[in-house]
Amino acid sequence: MSAKPYLTSRRHFIQGAGALAFATFAAPSFGAVGANDRIRLALIGCGGRGNSLFDQFSGEKDVEFVAFADPDQQHLDKIGEKAPKAEKFTDYRKLLERKDIDAVVIASPNYWHAIHTIHACQAGKDVYVEKPVTFSLEQGQAMLAAEKKYDRIIQAGTQNRSDTGLIDAFQAIQEGKFGKILQLRGLCYRNRTGIGKLDHPLEIPASVDYNLWLGPRPDEPIRRPHLHYDWHWDYNTGNGDIGNQAPHEFDLISWLLGDPRFSGDMHCLGNRFGWDDAGNTPNLQTAWYEMAGVPVVFEVNDMTLKPDVNASPAFKGVRVGIVATCEGGEFRGGRGGGFVVGEDGKTKIAKFPGDAGGGHARNFLDAVKSRDASSLRGKLAHAVHSAEVVHLANLAYRAGEPVPRTKLVGDLPETIADVIERQERQLKAWSIDTEKTPYVLGAPAAMKNGQPQGGAKLMSLADTTYREGFPLPEIS
């Protein structure tokens, strides 16, 4: 595949960048949706997650989708088959000009979430925005300022907060039914594979307006075979799996501990082992820190147990979820609920079956009608603060340095040494020697009042740049 089409496309969007500067939206004076009225929704981002959210919201009888926006015409055409009467836009700003839209559902790539949310607020729309609600640390306060200034209802896509089983379980734990929380583990074990690698820049599909797809991110050659979804595994556009699946589990930890804002030291360890692809985010990543005085260990493990099998490991039977060790029992679970085992580690002493947060969309719609932001389960502030932990872990990792195994284990807590021991057995099945391909030990990192602290390399990585014409909107 020739690189020439990519270069042609690149010249085209750079030449047009100046003409695509963002408009400043003036918030119209919308009244509350009537209790018996239909809520007119628009969807920004019509890929896989967008289609799933369309199906969820469309299942509610008082909802009508009236518009879609996506920079890929193929995405628009596909979702348009589900709602033929809805208007379609490649430029979301044109969608936001419509006065009849009550709320927008945002399922665009992570790096667009804050910009899309703020512009929607400025246009007088309520917002349901997918996790992680931010791409980098500085965006959260801008989103919260927009929420307040424009008096908008904003629900984060942290649907675990609406899981009936987790609501009951966490209430029981917080009330002390199983004693004091001694330790927490977050787990994100997924059966993933490498994304491949091209020996030339990707030719952008003709259906994609690449300028509007790339938006605020710097123009860097893409060496992976697929544009969509695999952007998660490139730090220019994604946050790795610790910022993809794991925000749900980080949010569970924050929720269980009463939603404190993280302040303190962050430690991180990992690497992208074995895949030799175009990704640069780790497929094994471990973070450890304290929150509300409770030690937390978080594991991301995207590698299968062996290269030729489709099976990920598990910790105490949990692959994606949390394990909360308490004085009088241990909760194990995640989306869909969980259970508590007794002191023998086997006998179930309490069960909390859940519904996977099926009522999350309904919770948002009810708040849009009532104008009662306090009724939201996935509050923006909580999602912003739990995402801060994700971003700090990534900053620590990205600013880190390779460390030979012989020098690594002796300096780590016992819980982390245990993680490495389990991972070493897994890596051995891949014929990976971590003396030759070592772990990356994260640089010293800390957080105070939402601000990162660390060395020069970490602080430079924390300074997000925005491509000309696509700034983070100012809240004036």
How confident is the model over 270-296, as pLDDT tens digits?
A: 999 999 999 999 999 999 999 999 999
User: The tokens of 476 are what?
Assistant: 């004036």
Beta strands in 280-408 (DSSP E): 284-291, 294-301, 320-326, 329-334, 337-341, 348-353, 401-403
Q: Which of 135, 161, 187 is the last residue of a domain?
A: 161
Q: State the pairing for strand pair 348-353/337-341.
A: antiparallel
State whether 151 and 179 are in the same domain: no
Show the tokens assigned to 390.
């994700």
CA–centroid distance for 149 within its chain: 25
Determine if the pTM surpasses 0.85. yes
Backbone angles phi, psi at 392, to 5 degrees: -65, -40
- DSSP summary character for residue 315: B
CATH at residue 116: 3.40.50.720
In terms of domains, do 113 and 46 share one? Answer: yes
**CA distance linking residue 67 with residue 80, whole number of Å:** 9
Domain residues for the domain of 155 are 20-161
User: Do 89 and 214 share a structural domain?
Assistant: no
pLDDT-derived band at 32 (thresholds 50, 70, 90) equals: low
Total domain count, the chain: 2
For the segment 50-102, what is each residue's pLDDT rounded down to a tens digit?
999 999 999 999 999 999 999 999 999 999 999 999 999 999 999 999 999 99
Summarize the confidence of residues 306-318 as an average pLDDT: 93
| pLDDT score recorded for residue 5 | 32
Residue 85 lies in a domain: yes
Looking at residue 25, its pLDDT comes to 52
The gap from C-alpha 233 to its chain's centroid, in whole angstroms, comes to 12
- Tens digits of per-residue pLDDT, 123-164? 999 999 999 999 999 999 999 999 999 999 999 999 999 999
Task: Find the mean pLDDT for residues 99-123.
Answer: 98
Tokens of 401: 């340095």
Do 91 and 225 belong to one domain?
no
Residue 12 lies inside a defined structural domain of this protein: no
Whether 406 shows a pLDDT value over 90: the answer reads no
Tell me the per-residue pLDDT of 422-455, one tens digit each, with 9 for 90 and over.
999 999 999 999 999 999 999 999 999 999 999 9
Query: In angstroms, how far is CA 230 from the centroid of its own chain?
Result: 14
- What pLDDT score does 27 carry? 45
221 and 114 co-located in one domain: no
Question: What band does 404 get if pLDDT is binned at 50, 70 and 90?
Answer: confident
